[in-house]
Amino acid sequence: MSTTLTFTDPDADAAAITSMSRDELTETGPDLLRESRKHEARAVLAAAALADRVYRERLAGQSEVEVWGSVIEHADKLARAEVSLQFTISRSKAGSWIALADLLKELPLIRTAYLNGELSTNRASIMARAAQRGEDID
């Protein structure tokens, strides 16, 4: 990439992109997309880690007798709400991210491809759910 982007000055970056040649754009575009996917994959894992901590904190100190249905459901909702608040995403998206991270724990090849930026979050979710069901993911 011969034109350097600052990632700190939006106007300068927009001007730099506008002035790029076709070859520079076809080189830069996919690189930028891959990097953004890497960042999002890590955000998904961070969101799931936060949810796990909130969930465990909510249940900490309670006996096994006290931890049942509605208590677990409340802890789960609290975890999703905290992720939603801290990451400024919807609760639905927070739940999807948490579910994806949980699936990826058992699917190291998909997890690696996702973390390397080879898959979008949507594609990683589709592949992980299909792999969980034992389906062909093509």
67-93 pLDDT, tens digit each? 667 778 888 999 999 999 999 999 999
SS3 of 90, please?
coil
pLDDT at residue number 66:
65
pLDDT at residue number 1:
45
The Cα 138–Cα 133 span in angstroms is: 14
Cβ(115)–Cβ(41) under 8 Å? yes
pLDDT at residue number 11:
97
* Sequence-ordered strand ranges (E) for the chain: none
CA torsion, ordered 23, 24, 29, 34, to nearest 10 deg: 110
pLDDT tens figures, 101-124? 999 999 999 999 999 999 999 999
Secondary-structure percent of the chain, ordered helix, strand, coil, rounded to 5? 75, 0, 25
Q: 37-41, 58-62, 103-107: which range is least confident on average?
A: 58-62
Tokens found for residue 36 = 């953004």
